[in-house]
Amino acid sequence: MDLSCFKAYDLRGSVPEQLNPALAERIGRAYVEITGAKKVIVGYDIRLSSQEITEALSSGLMAAGADVFDIGLCGTEYVYFATSHYGMDGGIMVTASHNPKNHNGMKMVGPESRPISSDNGLNDIRDRVREPFSDAPVQGRYEALEVTSAYIDHLLGYIDASALAPIKIVVNAGNGGAGLVIDQLEKHLPFEFIKVHHQPDGNFPNGVPNPILEENREATANAVIEHGAAMGIAWDGDYDRCFFFDENGRFIEGYYIVGLLADQFLRKTGPGNVIHDPRLIWNTQDLVKAAGGEAIESKTGHAFIKQRMRDEDAVYGGEMSAHHYFRDFAYCDSGMIPWLLLAERLCQSGKPFSSLIDARIEAYPASGEINRTINDPAKVIAAIEEKYSHGAKSVSYVDGLSIEFDNWRFNLRMSNTEPVVRLNVESRADIPLMKEKTEELLAEMEQLNG
């Protein structure tokens, strides 16, 4: 039995080779036996295979004795919300997010929408799938559950409706599921939405929705400029990540969005803890401190961020990869809350989006994440550490290698899945220094790679 679709944090694979209804049914049975869940939320994205896989998954869950609450076509955050909001024992979202259109997968959570990954049950579910099953003495029941009303009310609770103005916003769902939520929110907001690739379509006629790829940004940027919009937003397929464009159509690096959201959120909540990843940190630390909060580093990855947020009772957590987490959203990531907060900020400030970002880029210019294929990543990182740690202000291993000097710092980390090293460099108000050190490190890595 091919179980290669099981990854570190979720399931992903081609359909039907790696993931198919027969396997989905067994996964449902194994999920119940390993977790002991009696009430499980299921939802699915717009991919052509999603509904069939969800039906098979639900059949397995019920055969193992669990009641299934089907919330239908939705985004991943719907499952997070419903599992927590309705006090369920767990939830499973059928999605492959931004992967190729012939792929599918699953994201699993337990009570309170706590993530299920390879270090807390996912491998056990995988191993149980291999073994024979027998039906539970009492079969679970099926119920369709309407979640949208409660979910929309929750989203609107993050913003002050009286502070909003009729600004123009470009929204690009990439033919994923985000457009369905925008249509619901539109009824309650004064914004004029310019809708690009809006209709859900699992054929992905405009390409797989993945705005982190530069070639996928043009449609949003052009629409912002053409319509004179205040900002643009684009999502991946299951809209747990959102990406931003300013009024000039410029794509904004996720690093600067983390700082802006931390600042906006702390303005609302008062002093609190904010979790961030270690790749680029100075801008976030500066804004959080100025807002009376405390910035805390966590290893990159949603399971690590969510657990650290619980440990620290953090109000917000952000990764530069465009995942944003909120305490009142069961510590889970949302692709809808961030843009609502930033739209509110634009309305409150009366300033263009670019003016909120430009000063931060000047204060803490950054390289953005640069990936290089390396034959022996561990050897190269060790050699870089040996060369640069002498005279450094600090050396950290929270996630990979971070070395800090007075006016610049870098983070170098290995990919978990491929022979790739990821580099991020930033400086204090010195763009030439940031560029110089970036080129220097890349040249050093190339030389060490031989």
Give every CB contact of residue 348 below 8 A, 6+ residues apart in sequence: 163
Average pLDDT, the chain: 96
How much is the pLDDT for 418? 75
pLDDT per position as a tens digit, 321-359: 999 999 999 999 999 999 999 999 999 999 999 999 999
Contact assessment for residue 212 and residue 252, using Cβ atoms and an 8 Å cutoff: no
Q: Which of 50, 58, 97, 113 is catalytic?
A: 97
The residue ranges of DSSP E strands in 257-397, in sequence order, are 273-276, 294-297, 316-318, 324-326, 332-333, 370-373, 394-396
Q: Is the pLDDT of residue 415 over 90?
A: no
Q: CA 358, 361, 367, 368 torsion: positive or negative?
A: negative
DSSP reduced 3-state for 262: helix
Residue pLDDT, tens place only, 48-58: 999 999 999 99
Task: Tell me what pLDDT residue 419 has.
Answer: 81
Nearest to 362 by CA among 427, 440, 425: 427
Only one residue has tokens 């291999």, namely 130
User: What does the pLDDT read at residue 287?
Assistant: 97
Hey, which residues does 40 pair with through a beta bridge? 68, 90
pLDDT, tens only, 98-157: 899 999 999 999 999 999 999 899 999 999 999 999 999 999 999 999 999 999 999 999
How far is it, in rounded angstroms, from Cα 167 to Cα 350? 10
Rounded Cα–Cα distance for residues 97 and 242 (Å) = 12
By C-alpha distance, which of 430, 382, 380, 381 is closest to 409?
430
Contact 414, 385 (CB under 8 A): no
Token pair, residue 423, equals 């580099």
Under the banding of pLDDT at 50, 70 and 90, the label for residue 417 is low
Bridge-based pairing of strands 316-318 and 394-396 is unpaired
pLDDT (mean) for 171-178: 97
- What average pLDDT does this structure show over 304-317? 97
Distance CA 408, CA 429 (A): 9
Q: How far apart are CA 281 and CA 290, in angstroms?
A: 14
Q: In the numeric block, which tokens belong to residue 263? A: 């600042």
How many Å apart are CA 405 and CA 421, to the nearest integer? Answer: 21
Task: Place 450 in a pLDDT band, splitting at 50, 70 and 90.
Answer: confident
The side-by-side arrangement of strands in the sheet containing 294-297 is 294-297, 273-276, 316-318, 324-326, 332-333
Q: How far is 31 from 57, CA to CA, in rounded Å?
A: 10
Chain length of the chain: 450
Q: Could you confirm whether 4 is annotated as catalytic?
A: no
Confidence check: pLDDT of 47 > 80: yes
Residue pLDDT, tens place only, 56-69? 999 999 999 999 99
Peptide bond into 16 cis (omega under 30): yes
On the 0-12 / 13-18 / 19+ scale of CB atoms within 10 A, 143 is: exposed
DSSP per-residue codes, 129-165:
HTS-----SS---EEE---HHHHHHHHHTTS-GGG--
Angle among Cα 313, 34, 11 to the nearest 5 degrees reads 75
Predicted TM-score of the model (pTM): 0.96
For 4-18, what is each residue's pLDDT tens digit? 999 999 999 999 999
